[in-house]
Amino acid sequence: MINLNVNPCKMCMPMGAISALWGIKGCMPILHGSQGCATYIRRHLSTHYNEPIDIASSSLTEEGTVFGGEANLLKGLQNMIDLYNPEVIGVCTTCLAETIGEDVNAIVKTFCEQNRNLSVKIINIACPGYSGTQNEGWFAAIRSILEQVEPNTTPNNKINIITPLISPADTRWLKNFLTEMGVDYTIMPDLSDNLDGATEKNYNRLKTEGTPISEISAMAGAKLTIEFSEFTDERNSTAEYLKEAYGVPYAKLPLPVGVRGMDKLIKVLTEAGGVATYKVRKARGRYIDAMIDSHKHNAKAKAAVFGEPDFVSAIARLCCENGILPVLAATGSVSPKLRETLASEIDECREYHFADKTLILDDSDFSAIEKACDELGANLLIGSSDGRRISHKFDIPLIRCTFPIHDYVGGQRVRMLGFDGSLNILDQAANAMLEKVEANFRTELHSKFYKPKTEDKTTTHPCFGEHACKNARVHLPVAPECNIQCNYCLRNFDCMNESRPGVASKILSPAEAFERYAKLKETMPNLTVVGVAGPGDALANFDKLRETFRLIREQDPIVTFCIATNGLLLPQYVSELKELGVSHITVTVNAVDPAIGAKIYKHVYYMGKKYTGVEGASILLANQLAGIKMLSAEGMVCKVNCVTLKGINDHHIYEVSKAVAALGAYMVNIMPHLPVKGSEFEGLERMTNKDIMVLREKCGVDIKQMKHCRQCRSDAAGTLDEDISIELRESVPEKPQTEKPRRFAVATKTGAIVDTHFGQANEFYIYEGDEKNTKFLETRKVFKYCDGPQCDNKEERWQSVISAVSDCEAVLAMRIGPTPEKRLKENGIEAITTYERVETAVSEAAKKRRNVYGVT
């Protein structure tokens, strides 16, 4: 905005004048104005420099404003002398003093007349806050000091050094550098010790370091003045004043930053009798070397540089030398010359960057700077800590290297001059770029170029990827209905005692399912897969399926969706499944011959009609095969489950496997049939693990085999090895009462749940119990019965098991193979498979035993 400055990128003249006064030995400043000016400036300086900053104020009041502040100022001067005993007093005016027309010269004269034996030198500096920024105040103070100190024109072969505001550390560097070059100099002001002081035994509230008045006097007799400013003019240039008043020649140089800045300084010093020593030449060489090292990193940088003109021009040049594009060079000062100084240089750099636009602003504010940063895509800020808000807003790193720095420590130690200082800035810039790249390149490139393929999701799907066991899945039981009846299946979702497909303890609504997912995700960050696997057919409950996945997808854009289906409705829903983001589909195909299918499927409901026999099996088969083909065409991953039923399809499995492989299925899971009590195939003999392994090996020639199936429940949750679905259930039915305790051996890893396969048990927990109460007796170690997939039947292990459980009525295990079940039975021990809390399982078993065998 034109008439409104929004977030100033400048301060006022008194700030600069006071800053300069801190570089004079034994100086104490006073602001002729109202109390606040001193306090605000003190606050700004002390947080930047971390030094005590005492600034007196004449504390002008209403009365002083109306009738003149002479009395206030006279009293103030005396009080300062009493309190600080200074060698120099700098009287700076303010907006107020200038506006009411205070004649500070006259007041100071009066003071000196009143105090004849005064040993203090009083300098007055006109610095109305409305006439310029701290930069003008700084130069005004220096010039005023020179104008008001008695000159000593005796030639002294020294070089006068005038700088804009630089840090104490940079001042120290400059002094050392001049010494290294072998020149004798007077630097004025010299902030190096007063604003970066040491902790010492005795604190002196007066700043006793800095340029002494005697040396300032001698500046009139110097052989040369170097003024590090491209922006001073005849009004405020001390170099020009010394030339005009005492004939001291001068050179105006940019700040010694970067190669060109330093070369210019070295040249002038050499001409003035200095020598670029081996150390200096080496430092230059190292600097060039470092520039080269980081040039490509810096070529990524688009910097917004802001501050006072000399700072901005020095840093913008440094940027250009190193291939950093200064997209914005901005100053809060009125300085049209900034544009002239930098335009061609920045244009050249812009060409190198093929950039459209750069900006040079003067009389600017931070709202304009923020806007420009946004428009020009700045990715680096170089300036004061006042840029921190832009830095936070746009997440752009900020190199804090000029006054004021309020949010970091070390303002007094900022380095930007010389080869080392320039490198300090360059390294920070390069490292800021590296940091961004390092932190982001993986995700950036991934999201830019990587198109998620289902193959990728396959590796993190615990059922599809063998090495994905660390990933958890949840089966959401939202699909109660089924449209076919398999003879091996009993969809009994009230039963809690089984762990096998088709079983769920409770049907969830889509909303409840979402809630369960969301809750699980909180505690299970490795939950990468959400599946719907019944207890009915996922596609026979498509509305619920769709709603469930929609709810989850809203919250989680990446989780993998999978479903299990009999395939009857697959052709109808493939495209919609794809839209929903379902990537993995398991189709259970038990036969590719309708005659065999007819033995397996009792009936098939299709399009409102019930089909049986070969007719039903044919319809199902046709849809299964068509569906699998469509899935493969759509790039969706299809696993085919095949339940091996002894005497029904065990000789036919290879055909099934080969057929689905030809249609593009990804994997086949040949599973043994788990006989379910009450189902049609209840009495069917089981396949041994060995039989299954043989089948898998044979079929594996054509298609990938799943070997790690756990035949999960429809409401399974967690990793394949650790089903926690039991914990999600809401209540356990109450047990009816009974009497005498019976003894059971329980296969459990944790002691909490019957969670172990009989053959895998290392030990048994021995319990006694009736319907009401259970009591833990002891644990008994055994050799593992089943050690590996082949279940190598070693007799000694078996003996160990039998002896461990011989006094028990039954063994409770999650699952048990047919052979051991038979052998236990021979020993009069029942095998009960269950997946339940141990105590509940024991009670239930006791109840069952009583019902079957009566009271013992």
Partner 1 sequence: MTDLRTCMNKSVLEERRPSICDRRENGISCERESVSGAVSQRACVYCGARVVLNPITDAFHIVHGPIGCASYTWDIRGSLTSGEDTFRNSFSTDLRETDIVFGGAKKLTAAIDELMENINPAPKLLFIFATCIVGVIGDDIEAVCRTAEARYGIRVIPVKAPGFSGTKSLGYRMACDAIMKLILPHANQPKRFGVNILGDFNLAGEMWIIRGYLEQIGIPVISTITGDSSYKTLLLAPSATLNIVQCAGSSAYLAERMEAEFGMPSLRVSFFGIEDTTNSLLRVADAFGRPEISANARRFAAERTAQILPVIEKYRPYLEGKRAAIFVGGGFKAISLIRQFNELGMEAVVVGTQTGKKDEYEVINSLVNSGTVVLDDANPAELERFMMEKQADILVGGVKERPLAYKLGMAFCDHNHERKQPLAGFEGIENFVKEIHKSINSPVWKYI
Cα torsion through 818, 824, 826, 832, rounded to 10: -80
Per-position x/- string for 139-158, each x denoting binding to partner 1 as judged by CB under 8 A, each - no binding? --------------------
Residue closer to partner 1, measured from CB, 11 or 846: 11
Residue closer to partner 1, measured from CB, 46 or 779: 46
With contacts defined by CB under 8 A, name the span among 124-132, 267-275, 281-289, 581-589 that binds partner 1. Answer: 124-132
Site membership for partner 1, residue 131 (CB under 8 A) = yes
Residues 6+ apart with CB under 8 A from 7: 365, 366, 367, 370, 386, 389
CA proximity to 561, closest of 457, 471, 480, 634: 457
Considering only residues 201 to 240 of the shown chain, the ones binding partner 1 according to CB under 8 A are: 203, 205
Q: Let me know the angle formed at the C-alpha of 48 by 122 and 339, rounded to the nearest 5 degrees.
A: 85
Whole-number minimum distance, CB 462 to partner 1, in Å?
44
Distances (CA, A) of 138 to 90, 105, 183: 12, 19, 25
The answer to whether residues 239 and 214 touch, using CB atoms and an 8 Å cutoff, is no
Whole-number minimum distance, CB 108 to partner 1, in Å?
14
The answer to whether residues 642 and 656 touch, using CB atoms and an 8 Å cutoff, is yes
Member of 67, 75, 103, 781 binding partner 1 (CB under 8 A): 75
Q: How far apart are CA 547 and CA 535, in angstroms?
A: 17
With contacts defined by CB under 8 A, name the span among 71-79, 350-358, 483-491, 545-553 that binds partner 1. Answer: 71-79
Site membership for partner 1, residue 130 (CB under 8 A) = yes
Q: Checking DSSP bridges between strand 159-162 and strand 88-93, what pairing results, if any?
A: unpaired
Site membership for partner 1, residue 6 (CB under 8 A) = yes
Residue closer to partner 1, measured from CB, 96 or 305: 96
Per-position x/- string for 160-199, each x denoting binding to partner 1 as judged by CB under 8 A, each - no binding? -------------------------------------x-x
With contacts defined by CB under 8 A, name the span among 48-56, 249-257, 665-673, 705-713 that binds partner 1. Answer: 48-56
Residue type, 745: A
Q: How far apart are CA 294 and CA 287, in angstroms?
A: 11
Whole-number minimum distance, CB 33 to partner 1, in Å?
7
Considering only residues 355 to 414 of the shown chain, the ones binding partner 1 according to CB under 8 A are: 367, 386, 389, 406
> Does 404 sit behind a cis peptide bond, omega within 30 degrees of 0 on the bond before it?
yes
Site membership for partner 1, residue 826 (CB under 8 A) = no
Q: Contacts by 630-634 with C-beta closer than 8 Å and gap 24+?
A: 630/570, 630/571, 630/574, 631/570, 631/574, 631/585, 631/664, 631/665, 632/663, 632/664, 632/665, 633/664, 634/574, 634/575, 634/578
Residues 6+ apart with CB under 8 A from 558: none
The site for partner 1, by CB under 8 A, has a size of 73
Residue closer to partner 1, measured from CB, 94 or 641: 94
Residue closer to partner 1, measured from CB, 76 or 531: 76
Considering only residues 80 to 119 of the shown chain, the ones binding partner 1 according to CB under 8 A are: 80, 82-84, 94-96, 99-100
Is 855 strand, coil or helix?
coil
Residues 6+ apart with CB under 8 A from 230: 252, 254, 309, 310, 313, 337, 341
* Tokens of residue 208, six digits: 């006793």
Q: Checking DSSP bridges between strand 774-781 and strand 359-361, what pairing results, if any?
A: unpaired
Whole-number minimum distance, CB 18 to partner 1, in Å?
12
The answer to whether residues 500 and 432 touch, using CB atoms and an 8 Å cutoff, is no
Compute the half-sphere exposure of residue 680: CA atoms within 13 Å on the CB side of its CA.
12
Whole-number minimum distance, CB 100 to partner 1, in Å?
6
Considering only residues 447 to 506 of the shown chain, the ones binding partner 1 according to CB under 8 A are: none
Member of 19, 25, 27, 60 binding partner 1 (CB under 8 A): 60
Site membership for partner 1, residue 67 (CB under 8 A) = no
The answer to whether residues 829 and 756 touch, using CB atoms and an 8 Å cutoff, is no
Considering only residues 506 to 545 of the shown chain, the ones binding partner 1 according to CB under 8 A are: none
Whole-number minimum distance, CB 468 to partner 1, in Å?
45
Q: How far apart are CA 471 and CA 89, in angstroms?
A: 75
With contacts defined by CB under 8 A, name the span among 125-133, 163-171, 183-191, 428-436 that binds partner 1. Answer: 125-133
Per-position x/- string for 23-42, each x denoting binding to partner 1 as judged by CB under 8 A, each - no binding? -------x--xxxxxxxxxx
Whole-number minimum distance, CB 411 to partner 1, in Å?
12
Whole-number minimum distance, CB 68 to partner 1, in Å?
12
Residue type, 401: C
With contacts defined by CB under 8 A, name the span among 46-54, 287-295, 464-472, 770-778 that binds partner 1. Answer: 46-54
Member of 128, 164, 221, 387 binding partner 1 (CB under 8 A): 128
